[in-house]
Structures are given as structure tokens and as C-alpha cells.
Structure 1
């Protein structure tokens, strides 16, 4: 398999419009639109500008996490360390800032820590040969433990306005984190579809043996995607810390399964080689809209995990059915 063939858009399968291969992306988009229509009927406040902006802001954490995870899952891998990275980077950056480290330096250190953890994950998977589940699950606990040691049960808050702008500021009428997320999404999409590295990621996920045979440096590619996942988890941590004006050791716990669900709901196959960034963005919006809709309807927070889980299962089920039909 040559790299040109490997780089073909795995969501469409072949050049030009093909209804069968376009069905799954169409179903995801229609599901998003149907959810918006349903929520607007259930609550007139849903389509207000204030709520739309709020939904977009809430989507940013899952969306940014999903960018790096998409690259990892495209290689048939998994990264369970993202929740731990969020906790460690958020807590470390907040501690640095309140101890008068310049904000830019604190941000760079935080992103660097995320990249280092991701690179270590990649080395364990690609060079040592550990299963991705085992390597990243262990790293999750290491990062979580370091965050707990760093915080000693405390919560850091009262961060400077210059840092909080990342999570609460605006560019015009659009929240700054939304702009940051959109820019990152465009960069990742172009990276996956317009570069040799992106084509190698798809090729590796589609058939690792064929990728090795065609001369693709699979070890370097794996280290790269896990590093990218660490970087996006670190950026998500910064956005979350800035939005909440707080950091504590358990701040990343809710995002582990939600972030993976976002990518899978967006159509990226857990078997690798198929999917992309647009689908992940739709998946993040769907998951956020479900939670937002429940809040608008006054549904108890105890019910949220049940409804969210049901929506995830339904979305994955329909995705599997449409993919089988399109084959």
C-alpha cells in the first residue's frame, strides 16, 4: 500500500460523492440538527444567543481533548492518561502562576509537561511494546498522583485576569476558547489530510503490517500521535483552569470516558484508520448539547450520566449499522 492510497480520505473511501460512504457522516450531522430542533421545542431559551455561546464554550474542553485523541485512535491506539494530564497540568500551571512565575512561562511549562507525558506514552507503546491501554492507564495514575502530591488536598483560585482571559475572554462576541478550539481544529484537520505525517497515521491504523512494509516509520508516528494527545490534554487543562479560575487534583476525572466517547461518536473507528476531525467536533457538540438540554429542562444531575450513556450507545449503534450498510 503506497502512501498516496493510505492518505485517501477514509471517511469517503473514494473520490467524488458516494452515497453509501457518505451516509455515516450525514447521519451524525442530521443527529446534531435533530437534537438542536428537539431542544429548541423543549425549551425556548435553547436558541438564545446567550445559551448558544454558553454551549460553544462548554464544548471546547471536550473538543480540544478530542483532537489529540482522534490522532491516537486513528492508529488503533487509545490514551487513557488525558484525565491525569488535565489534573497535573492544571494544578501545576496554577501553582506556578500564584507563585509569581510569568504567565507565558507557566503556560509553556504546562504544555511541555503534557507533551512529555504523551511522549513517554508513545515510547512505552511504540518502543517497549506495552499495550496502549496498560501504558496510558498506568500513566494516568502517575499524573493523578503527582497532582495530588502537588496540591495536598488544596484548591488554588484567584488567578490573574490575564490568564483567565483564555477561558472567559471574548474576541468580538465569540468566546476566546471557542476561537482557540476552532484554530486548533483547522490545524489538526490540515495536518491529518494535507501532510505526509497525516497519511502515515491513516495508513498505520488501517494496516500496520502494510505500513511497515511500505517504509512508514511506525515507531516515530506512534510517538508523535501520543505526544500530540498530551499537548491537547495540556491545552484543555489550561482552558479549563482559566474558565473555572480554580485548579484541584480531581479536575480531570470527568473527561476520560467523555473524551473517548466524543471521538467514537464522531465516527473515528476504535479499530483505526477511519475517521477525522470534523466528526470529532460534531461528537463534542452532541455530547455537550445533551448535558445542556438536561440542565435547561431542570433534570436532576443524578440522571445525567444515565441519559448521556444511553445517547452514546445509540450514536455508536447507528454508526456501526450505517458503516456495515455502506461496505
Structure 2
């Protein structure tokens, strides 16, 4: 494991440099929109951006760990939908809210476990596995609900999700806590070294004694669990669990991770960078909305940002 730890350590300066570049991009985008619309930098709108970004940030953090390990998870949206359906069904059935929340998160983790097992144990390609799971989980959500949203979410749960703590929305606090834990995991724990090693060179990691299969399964379980957390946040905000929830969430999550410096080749990524990437996307969409730009142009901007991020990653890897 000496080689693995050394590799993770030597990657740190480049990741920090990329974080600095992401921060510069964040400041630049916010400065441009502040000039174009004075409402953009007001405190209520900034809080709104953070709240809107919290769901994507939650999904993107899980996606970042999967990407660092050399995988991809295209099923996060349908996983969120199934988790929301389970959580809402339990709440309406009278199950105590903490148990219903745990059930929803366990559902998301079970979906991740299924994906991770097929990837790590069966040896299937992550893209194919999660593409198939995308259709599978979406179908399960639609079949169970008949395609109809589930209403009647308890007021206590909605109040908790939509509340404020010292003026900060609860979803933002939830994501900040999760991000803090994941930062420690990635940068200060053996598991973080394993994930970086597996993404950098799976065969070398295996020779060095890294539990490659178990590590891959863990990151997919994490991705599924965080998709469930994001689903619960949206369910509490809307007051309903929709089986169509999570459409194109995987695109936003991959974009946030890529903007934040995660390499789709694996072996590189940053928790802080992903958070900034999510805020960049949230600020971009908020600013374009304030300027009355139509939604499909916002989707166009997201696609362009992904391509630019990939070109930057390719260029930096070439110099390295």
C-alpha cells in the first residue's frame, strides 16, 4: 500500500490547482451575472442558488466517487425516484418518519449494491450496467405507482426539509455535512486511497493488495444512498414523490463532477471541486433565468460546459 498512498499524495497538488481554477470560473460567472442583473448577488438570490444546487451537489458527490474509481452511474435519477416512492409510501402508511427516511436511503443503497455487484463481481461495463439499471428502476417506480405521483407527505417532514437554521436552508446544511464527511473519507482514510488507486490502475491496485471489488461496490452503494438523500430533499420540497423524478440528473451530476476536476478516465477528483461545480451550474441557470433565457438554452450551456471541462482535463493530463 506504500505505492498507493504515495500516488494519492502526489496527486494532491494538481487537484488543488484544479480547485483553484474551478473557483476562478465560479467567481467569473457570478461576476458576469452580477453586472448583467443586480438582483443576482442579493442575499435572497444567493441563498436560492445554494438551495437549488443542493440536490445536484448531493447526487454529484456520489457520482464523483464513482468516477474517481473509474466507473459511471447513469441510474442515479431512477434510483432517486424508486427511493422517493418507498419513503413516501412508508410515511403515508404511518411508519415513523426516521424509519421511513432510513427505508428510502436503504432502497437507494440497495440499487447501488445491485449496480456495484454487476460491475465488480460479474465484470460488466459500468456504462452498460447503469444504462440498463436506468430503465429497470424507472420501470419499477412507474409500475408501482401506475405513473401517478404519491401525495400526502407528512407536514412534519416537509417542515423539516424546508426549514432554516440560522438563515441557512436545511438542504444546504445536509449537503455540507455530507461533503465534509466525504472529504475526510477521500483525503484522510484508507478507503480514499483505495478509490484513487482503483481508478488510477485497477490491476496495480490489486497487486498492491487493494480490495478492488469491494471498493467498487462501496462507491456504487454510496452513489445510490446519496441519490436517495437528494430524492428525500426534493420530496419534502414538493410535498409529493413523483415516479418520473430525476430526469437527466445523471447529466447534471457528471457535469458538476467534471467541472470540479473529476476525470472520466478515473483516478482523480475533488469533493470541494464538485461542490463548486454544482454551484456553478446552479448559478448559471439562475442567472439565465433572471435574464429570461429559455430552458433549452440552459441545457445547451450545460453540454458545452461538460465538453470544455473534458478538454481541460485532457490538456492537463497531456502536460502531466
Matched position secondary structure for 1:128: coil
Offset of residue 48 of structure 1 = 0.9
2:3 pairs with 1:6: no
Alignment of 1:70-89 (within 5 A): 70-89=64-83
Once the two structures are superposed, the pairs formed by residues 1-327 of structure 1 within 5 Å of their partners are: 2-8=3-9, 10-13=11-14, 23-325=17-319, 327=320
Alpha-carbon distance change, 269 to 173 in structure 1, aligned in 2, over 3 angstroms? same
Give how far 1:5 is off: 1.2
Tell me the distance in 2 between the aligned counterparts of 1:153 and 1:197: 40
How many angstroms does 1:153 deviate by? 2.1
TM-score after normalising by structure 2: 0.95
Contact 2:255 2:305 in 1 (8 A): no
Asked if 1 retains the 8 angstrom alpha-carbon contact of 2:19 and 2:272, the reply is: no
**Alignment check: 8 A CA contact 2:86 2:107 kept:** no
Aligned length: 319
SS of residue matched to 1:230: helix
Cα separation, 1, equivalents of 2:270 and 2:18: 12
Q: Calculate the TM-score normalised by the size of structure 1.
A: 0.93
Unpaired segments ≥5 residues, structure 2 = none
In the alignment, structure 1 segments of 5+ residues that lack a partner are 14-20
Give the whole-Å Cα distance in 1 for the aligned partners of 2:47 and 2:267: 33
Distance 1:321 1:216 in 2: 29
CA distance in 1, matches of 2:184, 2:132: 32
C-alpha distance after superposition, 1:201-240 (max 9, x if no partner): 1011111111011111111111111111111111111111
Deviations 1:250-294 (A, max 9, x none): 111131211111111111111111111011111101111111111
Contact 2:117 2:217 in 1 (8 A): yes
Alpha carbons of structure 1 residues 166 and 264: separation in structure 2 relative to 1, 3 Å: farther
- Is the 2:18–2:260 Cα contact (8 Å) retained in structure 1? no
Q: CA RMSD in A?
A: 1.6
Distance 1:122 1:22, change over 3 A: closer
Residue pair 1:93, 1:110 contacting (<8 A) in 2 also: yes
Contact between 2:73 and 2:130, CA under 8 Å: does it hold in 1?
A: yes
User: How far apart, in 1, do the equivalents of 2:10 and 2:176 lie?
Assistant: 21
